[in-house]
Chain A
């Protein structure tokens, strides 16, 4: 248990402290904020590299070396809830990638956010994001991972909606958060189920962890009512979380809109790290997903789903990217498709290939985004590629780095990392026993990627400047970004090139490192029939894509911003559909969002009418009874009583006339009475 593994928690805590301090500091302390954020990130980066080195030198005695440290969070009945952090090759690699890319983006954003009023708050959020991402990567408990996962979602929300006065940004932020939240909800269910089944959420806990054999076997054997193995079901639920976070097909809608945020944000979060978190999650719980009843021979259902979803997303996103006009949106869709590739890799069992592609993609996609950022910065916040053009003259450095990034992404062979990682993925896709579908989709994706990247480069850098304000006005001409922005570009460009070498088939160091095998030189591997064939095939695809792109856009660059896109002229209907992003947003808006609000309306309507209604009914019933009571009282009692009184009075009237003061009447009555009395007494006969 080396020092670093026991103090691994320092890495996320440092940026967290920085963000806490920055949250409290006032706006004008810009320099202090930038320094604190970058400082903490740099320290985290150093520690990450240290952790990476320790994992390198760790004694790999069979299986993957891992060192974990668990601590108790709070009591739950008689059990404690354990959390912990873990150091293993995957964590190391991710730590390094996140901290390095993060540091570079921090430095870049100092320049980029120069004029912005909320400078300190930006860095506070960035630091918070950094700590969350680092925390996520090294979590040994699915719960801690989930916590960091949610924090990452929060920071992405805050950063997308950073320019909150723009309504589109606010909407995008909310949209992002909610869409990821949908994924998180399923992920949460998965966690609960897992906790329920395995009794613990720790990945590795000296054999008791949920990813360890005992728990896995128990989960595989049990089946849910629908016949699916529990592990598959849990895997799928967790994969939903990944889909949400990494913007796979059904839940990808938030990623393009997330471009509303500042470009460094897009670069850091929506290109390199956060979106990769989904892939990392799948990688982390790979043993669970991979656990299949057939004892490894049979491919587990979960992974099949992952593969198919990945491949479909790749192609789908690539098609849309072809028809986009906003520079950042193109890159966003390219990220979605590349993530699709990673999921494809993991789905087909290429665990190492997926992670390798993740790392390489992080670097060149960050490079592309930062390049786009400097382009936008140069063109005075102009984002529409149709209003740019001929920038290679004005921004040579940016053009150079951007070109390198483009080639890496497209997968130009040999020199660029993109080629190797993508090739590795295709290789493992090819080897997938289930079906060749993903492999072919992968090829199509590669072709499309190359095509839309060349289209973008031609639109932006070739032809002449098609500024919305007309060419003549001098001060509006694009200008090169300052050094603080271009240096990170250069570093990333270098990374984009060199990283490829780590995972070439010849020397698959990276893959071996991840899988815990000893990294050995297999030079011959390179030329082996199948591998070579694949490499040639992918080169062919890339060349075709670039050629087509250059043919369509490079030869006759558009002169006017309003000029129709050449592809549009060829296939207007398809192109329109693609530009409208297959109208997925509209569909969602029409169905899901409108549906929920409609339901809300129904509920509140139900609330008002039914509930209020029944209360009103009760009150009316009560009123009714009281009215009835009054009615009875009025007509039955009063009326009856009054009439009887009147009758009584009248009869009394008659009687009273007997006693009306006429004395003689009385006497007459007495006389008669006396006569009768006498008769009775005398002749009554002994009454």
Chain B
């Protein structure tokens, strides 16, 4: 029955000039046919299905790209056995994950062990529901979108803990603790950088933020936040925090293979490990999506005359760039030590984010100044702060004896 509805509304869509509209109109036509109460349920089910399909595929592609990318970085071809140029590798992985035996340690806390992957993935899924993929293509337009995103984002720490603890394994618990400490530490700079954007835009809803980034300076430079001094600094802080948040590359200490086997994932195998893996990638996609909406103008085209391209393509293009950056970082940067990681978060990122808010405030109140002067002053401030922090950061890099605070 749904297939029929799709087909009938197709010509509608073609008529519209804008492909975004096309998708929305499609959904509405499907839902339109349904009796009263069920309409809402079905429409939300449709959005959910679309999201899962899109991101599931993206996940598979991402694993492939990652493995191929890493290979290329490490001057090796990467998986090319399954399908042409290894394209079908993800399918193979998926089948492997499914049929592999799911080992659960005897002393493990079965319920918590089982729930952990779920609690990790579910919130990330919820996070997708609020990101505007295209013009009008936002699953739920909450006016407290950012708050919702972080609220559900916070649940991931709990899941990591449950995973680490339920296995009743010292190393997994230690890994979980490290992960939680890292995620909490980096959540604050993350939130503070988003606060700068929210402060400048004046609204928590992501749609508003993207809308605020429409238009172009002098017709050429898009009004993306990144091109504002505070925007750039905010983007840098946000990206570092985002990487740490999703336990990727330089900050992938918790499941650093060389140290604590797989961190809180050691007790998992089979399908649960796959779900964890999926959750991680989804987390990466969500956080990049947020970055895009906040700093890179969401689904806005970089150039005015490129407006005709459907907005969601721009969104997913930027997403791919982010994905590439992640993989690139993973291939090149060495892993950070735990105390460096913590110090960096608290002593470098957090002050930078705070100063960034300060600069944003100045930026806001110097609206009357001529463009370049205003840009220059703020940029100067940020550079000064960055240099000063760098200096203190360099100073503290001498290798002081490691002090254990809590593992007494």
Whether chain A touches chain B in the assembled complex (some CB pair under 8 Å): no
Residues of B within 8 A of A (CB): none
